[in-house]
Amino acid sequence: MPEQKIKHYQAGTFVVGNRLLDPEQRSVQARMERSNSLTSGHRACQGCGEALGARYVVDAAMRATDDKLIATNATGCLEVFSTPYPESSWQLPWIHSLFGNAPAVATGVAAALKAKGRDDIRVIGQGGDGGTLDIGFACLSGMFERNDDVLFVCYDNEAYMNTGVQRSSATPPAARTSNTKPVGGQPGNVFGKGKNAPLIAMAHEIPYVATATVAELRDLEAKVERAMELRGARYLHVFVPCPLGWGSASHDTIRLARLVKETGLFPVFEAEDGEVTSVSRIRRPVPVEEYLKLQKRYAHLFGDPPNTEVIGQIQARADRNIRNFGLLPEGDQSADLPGSAADLAGERPGETDPIGTAEGETSLMRLLASSPHGPQ
């Protein structure tokens, strides 16, 4: 991931094209000749994180493959809003088969291309958290285990959104969904450990696993580019807020994606062959309330009095991620999370924090090195 130092008065620029970067380092979206694979006219909600993520991911993959890409897609929001009969938003070859088989269909496409000697054409599979982590999980794991030449992308909005916001294995603790309502004394989704798909992917020791959010779109693109440099099974887990399902404002989508990283709730990292290779550090650690408060699905935690116990448990998860992944720069005490309350948009003057990569061992790396599945 390239980095470029900027002057302090240039800080605060979140412009996508980022004219301050060299042209080669700019986002795919800044180019006239972008493939626009998910073109306009689809039916996504205002502020849909998945539409944003998918457009970036597929365009980046198209550029990396010289427009030679075939996509498979699971049933879900992305599939439904992008192909309302008789129209389609997709400008690349694209197939939707079933809910649970997008990885297996991708396996079949890759096998056919191999049999035909077309190793210039690459394959991308796409699905939401439901289609990838639940009903499609066996197919996903099979694809990983066989090391099929597929990049599978999971757009995680933490519930079955297309069918009306039901809980999936990716739904975080305490979140409200249509079947985990905070009624009868239960604080939303039952407090469990969830299903850590990126770690499970790493346990298969596939060539590349990465997480990303739609707050850092250039980072997302860079990860797609990196993935497409490699062959074999690759997995990209993208955090995509859903305003409708989360009860958040449609203009808060990118803000929420930034906050989920900055709280430590969603570690952003890369791994190759089962080992973490880089971690994206938190710039300004933020207490989880700042993130939770923007979403109605957590509103029941902020009643009168607020449910400090559950909020505390959520904070503890964030703190644990920060420790395990080494999400704060060296020397930072994870216990001292500076408050950030009011100024979410501003940077502290004088700081020029690039989106850096981790040097040296993180505790997660150490953890993985000592496990039987770690690299030896």
Partner 1 sequence: MRRQEEGSRAVAEAVALCRPEVISAYPISPQTHIVEHLSDLVRTGDIEPCEYLMVESEFAAMSAAIGASATGARAYTATASQGLLYMVEALYNASGLGLPIVMTVANRAIGAPINIWNDHSDSMSQRDSGWIQLYAQTNQEALDMHIQAFRIAEEVSLPVMVCMDGFILTHAYEEVDIPEQKQVDAFLPAFRPRQLLDPAEPVTIGAMVGPEAFFEVKYLAHAKQMQAMDLIPEVASGFAREFGRESGGLLRRYRTEDAETIVVALGSVLGTIEDVVDHRREDGEAIGALGIKSFRPFPLEEVREALEGAKRVVVLEKCLAVGVGGVVSANVRMALSGIELRGYTVIAGLGGRSITRESLHRLFDAAVRDELKPLNFLDMKTDVVERELSRIHQGHSSGSHEQNILRDVGVVAAEPH
- CB of residue 96 to partner 1, shortest distance in Å: 3
Q: Which residues bind partner 1 (CB under 8 A)?
A: 67-70, 72-73, 79-80, 83-86, 88, 90-98, 100-101, 104-117, 121, 138-139, 141-142, 145-146
Q: Which residues contact 265 (CB under 8 A, 6 or more apart)?
A: 172, 288, 291, 314, 317, 318, 321
Q: Cα–Cα distance between 195 and 158 in angstroms, integer?
A: 11
- CB of residue 112 to partner 1, shortest distance in Å: 3
- CB of residue 221 to partner 1, shortest distance in Å: 20
77 or 328: CB nearest partner 1:
77
- CB of residue 51 to partner 1, shortest distance in Å: 16
Q: Cα–Cα distance between 33 and 225 in angstroms, integer?
A: 17
69 or 153: CB nearest partner 1:
69
Strand ranges in 129-201 using DSSP code E only, listed in sequence order? 151-156
34 or 284: CB nearest partner 1:
34
104 or 358: CB nearest partner 1:
104
Nearest to 83 by CA among 119, 25, 39, 45: 39
- CB of residue 212 to partner 1, shortest distance in Å: 25
- CB of residue 9 to partner 1, shortest distance in Å: 44
Collapsing DSSP to helix, strand or coil, 69 comes out as: strand
89 or 280: CB nearest partner 1:
89
138 or 341: CB nearest partner 1:
138
Which bin fits 36, alpha (ψ -120 to 50), beta or left (φ > 0)?
left
Q: Residue 84's CB: how many other CB atoms inside 10 A?
A: 12
Q: How far is the CA of 45 from the CAs of 162, 204, 260, in angstroms?
A: 11, 35, 21
